[in-house]
């Protein structure tokens, strides 16, 4: 699979039918075991603090994790499902060096099912976790994996915007978005020299959406996510955001990045809502927690990350790789919104421009609803 998400997506809807003969961990022989059973040999029982835990993700793009202590790297792991009579292996693999095993369950068919994680202890016995049940049902309603060699015209259009507002010196151009190797690549280009009105030059930008010329995909409420590798360059800002498809909505900036080497980390999330009287309410700002989550010498441009917003009647939850970066119940809206991807040279950022070759890459965009 060409996409870098193969490690997760290969597990989402598939199952490994059985463990290999060297790791006989499943109970497919037909033996009945009640839920929460944690049988093991007496020797394993004395090997404290031996234990197994299972943590099921409530997000369809974040792996669930089984953890074993003491860890046994390369030991077989079985994620088992209770079928009403016996435990059957649904997914299997090996422990990591840290004693963990990441896996993905179907966000629809796994709801209400009982799962447990099983591995072997250091003395040949079994480690069995408590039973866990997925409780959040997500149904995928839209997505794009950017297969092929060009944008799907049935999903995306270049946004139509004149040079106006805070982008007097740039307009969107269809030639600034390319599809290759399973990714959408967004760039910028200087197309005109310096003028009094545009002292840094005139630019074409990449900006595509699912709502022009008329709304294609739009939704009210749901979970919206994109796997991105932001641009490193300054003087431009890459963004994954949403725009109202009808009156009464808001601009929801899921993630907006202003380039490397900024002391504040350069990443922000916002909600901009304009009332019927024209008053603007803006909620959010720089997400300094992202800099800490990424770690030293890491930025949103140095690796791939999933940026998402969970939008529901009570508010919003913004995340990076499943880690919450902002929660708010302010600036709530209840109208349909559509998806936008962009790499822009807004006038206020152009003084910091240090390259025109930096690109923003998008691996996929997806939307789910309950």
Q: Which CATH architecture has domain 140-369?
A: Sandwich (2.60)
- In the numeric block, the tokens 């700002």 are attached to 285
Mean pLDDT, the chain, rounded, equals 88
pLDDT in tens, 81-118: 999 999 999 999 999 999 999 999 998 889 999 999 99
Alpha carbon distance 227, 154 (integer Å) = 21
Three-class HEC string of 124-161: CCEEECCCECCCCCCEEEEEECCCCCCCCCCCCEECCC
CATH 2.60.40.10 residue ranges of the chain are: 6-137
Closest to 72 (Cα-Cα) out of 96, 51, 40: 96
* DSSP 8-state class, residue 7: H
Comma-separated ranges of CATH 2.60.120.200 domains in the chain: 140-369
Contact 120, 128 (CB under 8 A): no
**Can you count the helices (H) and strands (E) in the chain?**
3, 24
The residue to which tokens 């725009």 are assigned? 243
Segment holding 84, helix H or strand E: none
Q: What digits encode the pLDDT tens for the residues 179-216?
A: 999 999 999 999 999 999 999 999 999 999 999 767 68
User: Which DSSP category does 242 fall into?
Assistant: E
Query: What b-and-e string marks burial along 265-286, b requiring 16 or more CB atoms within 10 Å of the CB?
Result: bbbbbbbebbeeeeeeeebbeb
| Measured CA distances, 134 to 89, 109, 247 (Å) | 17, 10, 36
Please report which confidence band the pLDDT of residue 39 belongs to, taking 50, 70 and 90 as the band edges. Answer: very low
> Coil, strand, or helix at residue 288?
helix
The count of other CB atoms within 10 Å of the CB of residue 250 is: 24
Residue 6 has what DSSP assignment?
H
Pairing of strands 115-120, 126-128: antiparallel
CA distances from 128 to 30, 31, 79, 115 (A): 18, 16, 10, 11
Q: How confident is the model over 113-127, as pLDDT tens digits?
A: 999 999 998 777 899
Three-state secondary-structure class, residue 51: strand
Check whether 20 has a pLDDT greater than 70.
no
Residue 257 CA, chain-centre distance (Å), reads 16
Q: Which CATH architecture has domain 6-137?
A: Sandwich (2.60)
- Quote the CA–CA distance of 194 and 202 in Å, as a whole number: 7
Q: How far apart are CA 279 and CA 283, in angstroms?
A: 13
pLDDT (tens digit per residue) in 159-182: 988 998 899 999 999 999 999 999
Q: What is residue 278's predicted lDDT score, i.e. its pLDDT? A: 87
Reported confidence tier of residue 48, pLDDT bands at 50, 70, 90: low
Cα Rg for the chain, rounded, in angstroms?
Answer: 24
Two tokens, residue 144 = 């794009």
pLDDT bucket at 240, cuts 50 / 70 / 90: very high
| 286-331 pLDDT per residue, tens | 999 999 999 999 999 999 999 999 999 999 999 999 999 999 999 9
The separation between the first and the last C-alpha atoms of the chain, rounded to the nearest angstrom, is: 28
Question: What SS3 state is found at 213?
Answer: coil
The answer to whether 258 and 353 have CB atoms below 8 angstroms apart is no
The SS3 call for residue 133 is: coil
């Amino acid at each position: 699979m060409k996409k870098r998400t193969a490690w997760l997506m290969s597990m989402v809807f598939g199952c490994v039918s059985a463990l290999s003969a060297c790791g006989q961990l499943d109970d497919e022989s037909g033996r009945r075991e009640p839920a929460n059973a944690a049988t093991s040999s007496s020797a394993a029982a004395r090997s404290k603090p031996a234990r197994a835990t299972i943590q099921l993700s409530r997000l369809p793009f974040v792996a669930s994790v089984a953890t074993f202590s003491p860890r046994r790297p390369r030991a077989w792991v079985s994620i088992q499902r209770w079928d009403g009579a016996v435990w059957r292996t649904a997914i299997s693999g090996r422990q990591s060096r840290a004693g963990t095993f990441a896996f993905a369950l179907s966000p629809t068919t796994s709801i209400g099912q009982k799962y447990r994680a099983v591995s072997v202890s250091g003395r040949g016995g079994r480690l069995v976790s408590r039973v866990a049940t997925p409780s959040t049902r997500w149904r995928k309603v839209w997505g794009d994996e950017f297969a092929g060699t060009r944008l799907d015209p049935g999903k995306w259009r270049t946004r139509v915007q004149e040079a106006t507002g805070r982008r007097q010196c740039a307009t969107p151009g269809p030639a600034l978005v390319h599809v290759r190797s399973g990714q959408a690549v967004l760039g910028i280009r200087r197309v005109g020299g310096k003028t009094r009105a545009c002292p840094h030059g005139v630019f074409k930008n990449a900006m595509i959406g699912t709502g022009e010329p008329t709304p294609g995909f739009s939704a009210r409420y749901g979970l919206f996510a994109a796997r991105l590798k932001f641009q490193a360059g300054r003087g431009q800002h890459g963004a994954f955001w949403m725009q109202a498809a009808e009156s009464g909505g808001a601009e929801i900036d899921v993630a907006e990045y202003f380039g490397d080497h900024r002391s504040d980390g350069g990443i922000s999330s916002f909600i901009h809502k304009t009332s019927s009287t024209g008053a603007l309410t803006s909620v959010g700002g720089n997400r300094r927690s992202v800099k800490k989550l990424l770690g030293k010498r890491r930025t949103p441009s140095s690796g791939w990350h999933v940026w998402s917003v969970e939008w529901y009647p009570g508010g919003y939850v913004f995340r990076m790789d499943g880690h919450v970066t902002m929660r708010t119940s302010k600036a709530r809206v209840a109208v349909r919104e559509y998806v936008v991807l962009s790499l822009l040279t807004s006038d206020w950022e152009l003084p910091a421009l240090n390259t025109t070759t930096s690109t923003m890459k998008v691996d996929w965009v997806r939307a789910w609803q309950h």
